[in-house]
Amino acid sequence: EVQLVQSGAEVKKPGESLKISCKGSGYSFTSYWIGWVRQMPGKGLEWMGIIYPGDSDTRYSPSFQGQVTISADKSISTAYLQWSSLKASDTAMYYCARIGAGTPYNAFDIWGQGTMVTVSS
Amino acid sequence: EIVMTQSPATLSVSPGERATLSCRASQSVSSNLAWYQQKPGQAPRLLIYGASTRATGIPARFSGSGSGTEFTLTISSLQSEDFAVYYCQQYNNWPKTFGQGTKVEIK
């Protein structure tokens, strides 16, 4: 079964760092782009950026460039989303999702279950 | 950045009725458009890609149409499990933006 399994919920304080993960299984992890999508409480979906684990080619939305870092470790089929200094406005559900082809020009066909990040003093 | 505008924001429909959701792009995205369904507390699920191709396992009552800047998702006969929020997404240009969503609720 093709699936993406994300790390568990996090509660952090402003200024702290964080790295959440997304582990792929059931397919060739290095052959598909993986993306991250933010959903703030009660709001819609926001496309953050994507990475190709095969060569770590990474693209960011201008809204998130410089705010987060997307990476991947192909040896363990895992993608990451990290923050160096969290803000309260980073409180959201974060989804990873696979792009359904070897090109970034396709839809997200497989989604992780989501990781809730709460940032509060 | 391409802006995706969905209408209406909320659609009230009775079970068994037809639902028509719209998505408009601020510039042409060709047929590089997807539709997703999201139920409360769940991750989104891909329904349609390429503007009109149903994803694996998606019932035939879901259909997509359109190209360029105007797109439609039609649910031919609403079932109880179809009440949810629906998002369109263009993947033709960077960044690959989503619409703000249409909530389909029970009338």
Chain A: give the shortest CA distance to residue B14, in Å. Answer: 24
- The verdict on B58 touching A (C-beta cutoff 8 Å) is no
- Name the 3-class secondary structure at B80: helix
Helix (H), strand (E) at residue A57 = strand A57-60
pLDDT score of A103: 84
Q: Which residue has the higher pLDDT, B5 or A101?
A: B5
Instruction: Quote the minimal CA–CA distance from A76 to chain B in Å.
Output: 23
For residue A15, CA distances in Å to A41, A61, A84, A115, B43 come to: 20, 22, 8, 19, 28
- Determine the residue of chain B that is closest to A114 in CA distance: B43
Which regions in chain A score pLDDT beneath 70?
A: none
| C-beta of residue A21 within 8 angstroms of C-beta of residue A79 | yes
Average pLDDT of the segment spanning B32-38: 98
Cβ contact B55–A109 (<8 Å): yes
Q: How many CB atoms lie within 10 A of CB A82?
A: 13
pLDDT tier at B79, thresholds 50, 70, 90: very high
The string of pLDDT tens digits covering residues B50-62 is 999 999 999 999 9
pLDDT band per the 50, 70, 90 thresholds, residue B63: very high
